[in-house]
Amino acid sequence: MSTRRKILLSTLAVVVVAGSVLTVRWFVDPHKDDPGTADAIFVLGGGGDRVGFALDLVRDGVSDTAVFASEFVESQGVWAARPCNDVRPDDVPESATFECHEPDPATTRGEARLLRDLATERGWDTVVVVASTDQITRARRLVERCWDGEARFTGPDHGQPWPIRALYEWGAGLKATVLRGC
């Protein structure tokens, strides 16, 4: 085997191993924060049972305020996040409030801007951000660019096979890296 071919194969092996390690670290098993207590729970739109996860956080006393970045389904006259449609679970505290807001644009970047605007308007210092496991790394990067408060990230698995989600997140993460700013 030629020296050039050995170098090419070695480089390819390093890229594959490094890409695999980063994929696991960023999208399959990212760092999740302990939610503690917070001024609000902010739920990003997307896959996985984010609504159920957020309701569990409310039940656990993390915050009485849950804000869902959700779309309003005009044809049905309802919010995509069911707690905003007067579908209040019986086992959440009476003091709990649920809100839905449509981010503009309807992207993770738009959700980060919405979080910033609400936090600034309401004087929030600490927010627990609920995102699917594969989205946490990218969401953390975008929220930290938009807001100086303390954001803790946690959430459920997406529900789709991780190779599909990892491919999507690699592309979305690259876009978030290239398009700097909030």
pLDDT tens string 132-169: 888 898 999 999 999 999 999 999 977 767 777 777 77
Question: In this structure, are strands 40-43 and 126-130 parallel, antiparallel, or unpaired?
Answer: parallel
Over the range 118-127, which residues count as b (16 or more CB within 10 Å of their CB) and which as e?
Answer: bbeeeebebb
Question: In this structure, are strands 40-43 and 78-79 parallel, antiparallel, or unpaired?
Answer: unpaired
Return the higher-pLDDT residue of 101 and 29.
101
> At how many degrees (to 10) do helices 162-178 and 108-122 cross?
70
The domain limits of the chain are 32-178
> At how many degrees (to 10) do helices 162-178 and 136-146 cross?
20
Amino acid at 126: T
Return the higher-pLDDT residue of 60 and 89.
60
In this prediction, residue 147 carries a pLDDT of 96
Average pLDDT score, the chain: 83
Residues 78-99 pLDDT 10s:
777 777 777 777 788 888 989 9
CB 132 within 8 A of CB 108: no
Owner of token pair 């890229």: 15
Q: 0.85 cut: is pTM over it? A: no
Return the higher-pLDDT residue of 30 and 91.
91
Q: Which of 85, 83, 111, 81 is nearest to 96 (CA)?
A: 83
Pick the CATH number of 32-178 from 1.10.3470, 3.40.50, 2.40.128, 1.20.120: 3.40.50
- For CA atoms 87, 92, 95, 96, the dihedral sign is negative
| SS3 assignment, position 84 | helix
